[in-house]
Copies of this chain bind each other. A is one copy, B any other.
Amino acid sequence: MKHRLSRRRFIASATVSMIPSAVAIAQPKGISLFTMGTDEQSSESQKLPKPDWKNAGVIDLSNSPHAKLKTVPVRAVVIQPGFWSQRRTTNLVASIPSMHDELLEHGRMDNYLRLKGKLSEPQKGPVYSDSDIYKWTEAVGFQLQIADEPKLRATTDAMIRDVVAVQEPNGYLNTYYNSDRKPLRMRYDTQTTGHELYCIGHLLQGAIAYYRATGDPTLLDAGIRFVDSFLIPDYGPRANQKAIVAGHPEIEMALIELSRTTGDPKYITLAGYILHGDERVPLKPEQIVYMYCGIPFTSRTKLEGHAVRAMYACCGATDYYLETGDPAYWKTLNVLWNDLTAHQLYVNGGVGARAEGEAFGDPYELPNAQAYGESCAAIGNMMWNWRMLAASGDAKFTDVIERALYNGINSGMSLDGRTYCYRNPLAFDPTGESRDGDQVDGKIRNAWYDTTCCPPNLERTFASLSGYFYSTNDDGVFVHLYDNSEMNWHLHDGTALRVQQKTNYPWDGEVKITVSPATPSDFVMYVRIPGWSTKNRVKMNGEEVAGAKPGEYLAIRRRWSKDDTIDLNFDMTTHLLKANPAVTEDRGRVAFQRGPIVFCMEDLDQSEHDGGVNLAGYTVLEDGETTAQFEPHLLDGIMVLTHPATISKTATDTTLYFQSSTPKAPASPTTVRLIPYYAWANRKPAPMQVWIPYKDA
């Protein structure tokens, strides 16, 4: 296991928490753990940004030797009014504050106060309750990277103080494994279910995002203390150490991000050990499947088990590859990615077919109404593909990111930002039975889940979104996502660069990109041609550019000057998608996709809607022409598709089984109306379907 370390290096120390920050902390607050090593700053890095807390991206790949693409800071890109702006505002003004209140109401902070002796109540919530606070803190961290929010920051600072106050002298920090549960700490049998490392992983991610926003290392110090003082001395591969199993992968990517943040390679080593698994932990085969850890990651040949665990494991493994370049990891990751896209990916970008075990199913097992598609799993899918993209520069990964982001992730949060989907099924009947506590009174969106992993996960994703728009490499800039926005960053040679986007994407396919380097410079703009865009036109300063291919980055290499423009024109034809015939539930059905947006029929929008029409009666005409019309007042402004269809009102009156020779119920012509999938379930509970029969069956 080789670590090619960064040239610039932070010197981390577990014992220097009283040393004031030495350099480059523009808004120091609290006590920094870090001193800056300057000995390795070569002349070529003089133009690089100061290696301070401000300039790291969603993940910090600036020194990752196997990252072909480097991240751009979240704060370097301002998303302007357009498709994502309302979601982002809602996230700030509604989601993050209301989730704060929910967390407090459900005792998530009481657990810390109790350990400080301020409360006598028992521990509240499930074993992973601490992680809710940390993931919410991460959302705040990304939000504060965009812009300071003094009140939000003060609130969060106070919560962080309460958290770190209960850290034990040995570094241990977890509110669940205390009192009579203390003997259970980090036992082999509780490592598989106890989520102690999962919680610390989220603490580290939250702490890093908060540190990158504020320079305040308070929470980060606590995380480092847990790892350095509690974990590393006693746990690891050596004979005098106890073995680790992740249980719920998460710690791996957090440790690697900690290494990127501190420059200390020991965290990569630890992550590699956890990714490899330790035979000393006795595990049953079904645990190895379910947890997606415990055996060498590189021995995996397919996605299986708990979907979020598998996705987070893949994130950690890709992070490990980005740092080490281990070819066995890259090979495995590509095998798994091919399994994902050939067999396991829902058309909305979600993953995880089964409610049982919140798990991947067999290949092509992609039920619609019974789809699990946990919001966290879709987010994990996006996070993994983000890392695969960085490792390769291949737009096929961006296509998956876009599919998940606009559909199966975006559906996870209500338009008002106050309720959330835990499951994201592709068909729905509000009279159906609840799965895992969702669908209360037919409502699939709820403000609170006792396992509330998804809401703050959605919040951190939307808060960090601007960090996913661009990457850089030594040749230039990659444009991944399209929306009205302005990036102010620089090329690898240090040349300041502004990139502006003007567009009505994803509702229409025209994007104007204005590229303005501080001084005329030779570099490449890699603009993404989405995989769904069959026909494309690209103009450079008004002149046609050839070579645009769906699912690739078009490289425009030239000497760029201020206000150079790229005009993109993507193909917004609505496509009726079919699924591989092995996907039994989608057979004879089509899904509508226009641009990156997957659509669905919600019963409320159908003219025949009478409060209880079963959607099974509709059949769309395969060769019919789809009309798209923007409706500014419906569901915060959406494109609505209409498509010719037939309706057989008696279709659902038939018996359960009948002879094929039974005369067909008469079908009348009608038109179906489709709304973007992400906008479903924002009115009263109603039947919904993404996959619609296209032949009269």
Chain A interface residues toward B at CB < 8 A = 304, 341-343, 345, 347, 354-356, 361-365, 367-370, 427, 429, 431-433, 534, 575-585, 587-591, 614, 616-617, 622, 651-652, 654-662, 693-695, 697
Closest to A532 in B: B659
- Contacts A356-B356, A584-B427: A578 and B367 contacting too (C-beta < 8 A)? no
Residues of chain B contacted by A587 (CB below 8 angstroms)? 587-589, 693, 697
Contact (Cβ within 8 A) B584 A369? yes
Contact (Cβ within 8 A) B657 A579? yes
Contact (Cβ within 8 A) A342 B579? no
Contact (Cβ within 8 A) A579 B656? yes
Contact (Cβ within 8 A) B695 A588? yes
> Top 6 nearest A-B pairs by Cβ distance?
A356-B356, A588-B588, A576-B660, A362-B432, A588-B697, A581-B616
Q: How far is the CB of A568 from chain B (nearest CB, A)?
A: 21
User: Please, could you name 29 A-B residue pairs with CB atoms under 8 Å apart, sorted by A?
Assistant: A304-B433, A347-B657, A356-B356, A361-B370, A362-B369, A362-B433, A365-B432, A367-B367, A367-B585, A368-B584, A369-B584, A577-B660, A578-B658, A578-B659, A578-B660, A578-B697, A580-B658, A581-B652, A582-B614, A582-B616, A584-B616, A585-B585, A587-B589, A587-B697, A588-B588, A588-B693, A588-B695, A588-B697, A660-B694
Q: How far is the CB of A431 from chain B (nearest CB, A)?
A: 8
- In the complex the two chains form, what is the Cα distance from A693 to B590 in whole Å? 16
Closest to A648 in B: B581
- In the complex the two chains form, what is the Cα distance from A218 to B609 in whole Å? 65
Closest to A354 in B: B356
Residues of chain B contacted by A584 (CB below 8 angstroms)? 367-369, 427, 585, 616
* Interface-central residue, A341, A588, A651, by most chain B CB under 10 Å: A588
Q: How far is the CB of A622 from chain B (nearest CB, A)?
A: 6
Q: How far is the CB of A596 from chain B (nearest CB, A)?
A: 13
* Interface-central residue, A304, A354, A581, A655, by most chain B CB under 10 Å: A581
Closest to A694 in B: B660
Question: Taking the full assembly, how many copies of this chain does it contain?
Answer: 2
- In the complex the two chains form, what is the Cα distance from A304 to B694 in whole Å? 32
Contact (Cβ within 8 A) A581 B655? no
* Interface-central residue, A429, A433, A577, A584, by most chain B CB under 10 Å: A584
Residues of chain B contacted by A347 (CB below 8 angstroms)? 657
Q: How far is the CB of A441 from chain B (nearest CB, A)?
A: 13
Q: How far is the CB of A584 from chain B (nearest CB, A)?
A: 5
Q: How far is the CB of A399 from chain B (nearest CB, A)?
A: 11
- In the complex the two chains form, what is the Cα distance from A656 to B355 in whole Å? 21
- In the complex the two chains form, what is the Cα distance from A614 to B343 in whole Å? 14
Contact (Cβ within 8 A) B617 A656? no
Contact (Cβ within 8 A) A652 B368? no
Residues of chain B contacted by A534 (CB below 8 angstroms)? 659
Contact (Cβ within 8 A) A365 B356? no
Given contacts A355-B356, A578-B660, A582-B616, 5 further A-B contacts (CB under 8 A): A304-B433, A361-B433, A580-B654, A588-B693, A622-B660
- Contacts A355-B356, A587-B588: A659 and B576 contacting too (C-beta < 8 A)? yes
Residues of chain B contacted by A429 (CB below 8 angstroms)? 362
- In the complex the two chains form, what is the Cα distance from A688 to B427 in whole Å? 26
Q: How far is the CB of A76 from chain B (nearest CB, A)?
A: 34
Q: How far is the CB of A357 from chain B (nearest CB, A)?
A: 8
Contact (Cβ within 8 A) B432 A582? no
Closest to A434 in B: B286
Closest to A660 in B: B576
Residues of chain B contacted by A368 (CB below 8 angstroms)? 584
Residues of chain B contacted by A693 (CB below 8 angstroms)? 581, 587-588
- In the complex the two chains form, what is the Cα distance from A55 to B652 in whole Å? 47
Residues of chain B contacted by A622 (CB below 8 angstroms)? 660
Residues of chain B contacted by A588 (CB below 8 angstroms)? 587-588, 693, 695, 697
Contact (Cβ within 8 A) A652 B367? no
- Contacts A370-B361, A584-B585, A654-B580: A660 and B590 contacting too (C-beta < 8 A)? yes
Q: How far is the CB of A442 from chain B (nearest CB, A)?
A: 12
Residues of chain B contacted by A660 (CB below 8 angstroms)? 575-578, 590, 622, 694
Q: How far is the CB of A592 from chain B (nearest CB, A)?
A: 10
